[in-house]
Amino acid sequence: MPLSLAILRQDLRTHLGMDELDLPNSQADLLLNRAWWMLSSQLRFSEKDAVYNFSTTAGDDTYALPTDSDAIQKVILQESGEDAWEPLTNIADWDMFKLKDTDSQDRPTHYSRRGSNFILWPNPDNVYDVSVKYLRTLADIQASGPDAPQEWHEVILWGAVSRGFYAIGDWTRGQEAQAQQSLLIQSLDTQETKEHEDRVFSGLRVYRRRYP
């Protein structure tokens, strides 16, 4: 059963030897969310995968990205009425400035990211459908619990316990809680790891002596 935010708060207080007066919800949530932010930035959860679709406007090269966009992974483009999708080439935004010396319009072939915007080159000369595969920033822990597989909820809890002990100056128990979290992390796999089957060296290959 997933651990709700209320359960995580209570377990956190139990481990720290505190009650609601010692550790109000706002402070408990901050400890839990800081542990969650760190974990979600280090590991690849399938919950981070997202797709954003939009259509271009002729002559417009700049488009807003979703507010939860963390990193762009792949961009493909299709002209309306076509069946095939073509990948766009990612370039550094500094190089995009060099390309923007011309205002020529054509089918886009390159893209860059500039802050929260998405830049295309050449400027679209028509309406194109664009699909962006990206990693989204996971939201803070909601009432129903973290947006991650339930086996990772315990890892988040121990990260918050560690931060709680450090916050009150108990470095010994903070390090012990951090060590417990590390053990749990090492014993678990993300969904991406579980589903990855195409491993070149996943099996044992016995090498025999070559025949003379």
- Tokens for 160? 């918050």
pLDDT digits (tens, 9 = 90+) for 61-76: 999 999 888 889 999 9
pLDDT band at 188 (very low <50, low <70, confident <90, very high): confident
- pLDDT for the residue 102: 65
Whose CA is closest to 153, among 175, 176, 174, 184?
184
Every domain of the chain and the residues it spans: 5-45+138-193, 47-136
- Angle of CA points 60, 51, 29, to nearest 5°: 115
Q: What pLDDT digit, counting tens, does each position of 108-164 carry? A: 999 999 988 999 999 999 999 999 999 988 889 999 999 888 889 999 999 999 999
Bridge partners (DSSP) listed for residue 49: 135
The first and second tokens of residue 98, run together, are 């060099």
d(CA 193, CA 45): 10
DSSP per position, 97-110: HHHTT---EE---E
Give the residue-averaged pLDDT of 91-106: 82
pLDDT of 104 over the 90 cut: no
| Preceding amide of 24 cis, omega within 30 | no
CA torsion 54-195-156-70 (nearest 10°) is -20
Are 48 and 72 within 8 A, CB to CB? Answer: no
76: nearest Cα among 99, 50, 45, 109: 109
Cis peptide before 122 (omega within 30 of 0): yes
Question: How far out from the chain centre does Cα 49 lie?
Answer: 7
pLDDT at 138: 85
Q: Which residue has the higher pLDDT, 100 or 160?
A: 160
Round the average pLDDT of the chain to a whole number and report it.
86
Whole-number pLDDT of residue 199: 45
Task: Indicate whether this model's pTM tops 0.85.
Answer: no
Q: What is the pLDDT of residue 208?
A: 42
Q: Give the C-alpha separation, 28 to 8, whole Å.
A: 9
